Chain A
Amino acid sequence: MTCSNPLLLNTPMDFILQINSFLAGPCLYITLTLCAAGLIRKAVIIIEGRSRGLKFPVFQPDGEAGALSLAFTGRNPFFAVMSILFHISLIAAPLTARGHGILLDMSWGILPPRFNPIFTSSFTGLAMVTGIILLLRRIFLNHVRALSSWKDYLLIFVVLIPFVTGMMARGWIGNYEAVMFIHYLGAHILLVSIGWTRLGHFVFLSAALFVTSGFCSREAE
């Protein structure tokens, strides 16, 4: 299926191969730059906003410890645990994937620790299951559904696409190159979205925890 001359595109598959090598190579620099720029912009707005009166409200149902624990556990322990597992899986699955380690080694000469693929599969499966549970929460809980727009539903799919396709590629399900094309494309869209959409909410969460947990002065709150 491979093309003898890389510049000669005989079939749609040759085109996908060319695009895939671009997405897995040079395009990553552009995507990472865009992602970093968006996150830095958010951080600058928070820091600049602090001088203009930006406050992080301190919610203390059970004193100092209550404010911090509430941020992680919420009011419904089941969904809180699902949310925590979902977010841990989102970070752990790509970090433990061997394919990513190989790409990192080829691009920058950095060889990350090699994890047993069972870790990656487990984290990917966990991300998909907990993601679906959070999607069902959004659909069936009145107050969450009332707040949700089509963008909220779309973002869940944007997050899950690289994980589903990663799992498919690992299991050789479907046309490998086509699946990898969707995987690469989904991952690039996800990374840019983290910088420029509400998927970058961890910046605000981190800032809120930093301020309200007493790491910096709270006199102004």
Chain B
Amino acid sequence: MNSVNTDLIKEMLNEKHYMKEMLSACVSCGMCAESCFYYKNTGERSAIPAYKVRKTVGKLFRKKGRVSRVELETMADMLWGHCAVCRQCYCPMGIDLSGMMSFGRAILRSQNIDRWSGPYEE
């Protein structure tokens, strides 16, 4: 199955449309990075929780679910390869970053993409 069911993604995004508004409240203060063990150990930008959410769930909202399979597979790398969903990412605005990462994983699973489908596996 190589096609992307954009209708299903749109439906899932509509169900959680408040997440888009929550993401828009991010003032890029960087406090999520200070509480992320993955970022503290690697120092990579791609490990900053807010960055990961913007590039995955945020991108899905921006593009209204119209993404290619390659884009989804790249997201899999961030959603599984750079996050343990340990729920330690602190946000003073109350943005549920790890909840959004979980939601991103659910969207990818709905497209038959899971932990081992991402390019990081190769």
Q: Which residues of A contact B (CB under 8 A)?
A: 42, 45-46, 48-49, 52-57, 59, 70-71, 74-76, 138, 141-144, 146-149, 152, 197-198, 200-201, 203-205, 207-209, 211-212
Contact = CB atoms under 8 A, between A and B. Distances in A.
Contacts of B91: 57, 208
Contacts of B25: 42, 198, 200-201, 203-204
B94 A144 contact: no
Mostly, the B contact residues are loop
B17 to A, nearest CB: 8
A74 B92 contact: yes
B30 to A, nearest CB: 4
Nearest to A145: B30
Given A142-B43, A143-B39, A52 B18 contact: yes
B15 A52 contact: yes
Contacts of A46: 18, 21
B16 A53 contact: yes
In the complex, which range does the number of interface residues on chain B fall in?
35 or more
A149 to B, nearest CB: 7
Given A56-B96, A71-B92, A204-B94, A143 B48 contact: yes
Interface of B: 15-16, 18-19, 21-22, 24-31, 33-35, 39, 43, 45, 48, 50-51, 87-88, 90-99
A92 to B, nearest CB: 20
Given A42-B21, A146-B45, A211-B94, A75 B27 contact: no
B103 to A, nearest CB: 9
B18 A45 contact: yes
Q: List the 6 closest pairs (A to B, CB-CB), nearest first.
A: A208-B94, A49-B18, A143-B33, A144-B30, A56-B94, A147-B28
Which residue of A52, A55, A147, A207 has the most chain B CB atoms within 10 A of its CB atom?
A147
Given A59-B88, A146-B51, A147-B28, A207 B21 contact: no
B27 A201 contact: yes
Given A52-B15, A52-B18, A53-B16, A212 B26 contact: no
16 contacts: A42-B21, A42-B25, A46-B18, A54-B22, A57-B97, A57-B99, A70-B90, A74-B92, A144-B30, A144-B33, A146-B51, A147-B26, A152-B28, A200-B25, A204-B95, A208-B93
A147 B24 CA distance: 13
Contacts of B34: 74-76, 143
A74 B31 CA distance: 7
A199 to B, nearest CB: 8
B101 to A, nearest CB: 12
A25 to B, nearest CB: 32
Contacts of A57: 87, 91, 94, 96-99
